[in-house]
Structure 1
């Protein structure tokens, strides 16, 4: 059965991101190699370069994925809060709990800033800051 091109592209990207996330989370950015990613994903270096440009681009994609997961988890937990104050507390506690996870620590707080620079300049950070500002203003 012939699969749509969009589906194949999404699958290729997902495989590379999963392989990179595992490697970055276990061995770190500096030790992880392009060959590790492609071998683990069963793909070629050409596929990696085509979709992400380079190792740094792949790290950005991994960080975007983790950031999306963190936001979803924070929103899910905080949405059950009975008050605005509890919503804020739940958001903060959930963020801290996730920040203590070894994979997130290594990728988001050690390697990410070392490779990509100040997290305050990352594309997703402005949305996070705006959300936090809105919640504090509403209190």
Structure 2
């Protein structure tokens, strides 16, 4: 098989495994998802799974990264509709928290992800979000809109607040009732960074 065709086939197989795993993890949960069933659903073998992802945990990490990227894109899209950097920053964080109500995100990213993969603040996708938050806060600071506070520290705390609020909503027995409390507290905490009330 020519190298280009081989690379295309490998990419297609990887995408099929990701799609099957995403469905299985969202509907059955990580622990109950059968590797034999999800590889069969993808029309592939366990060998293909091991080749692309190492093991079931590696497959979950790839699914979480895929969904987390989509979450970040959705949050950024909501932020882009705002008229200023501050509102964009708050809407982005709020959108992230609100996604905890999405059944797939709740189960795969916010419940199974941390249980299997460890601290979400250490995931590469979270580091990308942190960088963007830090850039936004640096712009706001340069415009004199923030209190004199270290921008990296503020970005870490703001991102941590949004992440932990989403985790709290996801783990709650009543997520829909928890969400407005989480969002209100997040906004109140964030507002403390402003040089003056907006």
Deviation at 1:78, TM superposition (A): 1.3
1:101 aligns with 2:102: yes
Higher-Rg structure is 2
Give the distance between the partners of 1:69 and 1:127, measured in 2 at CA: 13
Partner SS state of residue 4, structure 1: helix
Deviation at 1:81, TM superposition (A): 1.5
Give runs of aligned pairs for residues 1-139 of structure 1, distance below 5 A.
4-139=5-140
| Consecutive unaligned residues in structure 2, runs of 5 or more | 141-198
Deviation at 1:80, TM superposition (A): 2.2
Deviation track 1:55-108 (CA, whole Å, cap 9, x = no partner) reads 000001101100111111122221221111221122123212222101101111
Which structure exhibits the higher relative contact order, with contacts defined as CA atoms closer than 8 Å and separated by 6 or more residues?
Answer: 1
Give the distance between the partners of 1:11 and 1:51, measured in 2 at CA: 11
Matched residues, number: 138
Give the distance between the partners of 1:29 and 1:76, measured in 2 at CA: 29
> TM (normalized to structure 1)?
0.91
| Consecutive unaligned residues in structure 1, runs of 5 or more | none
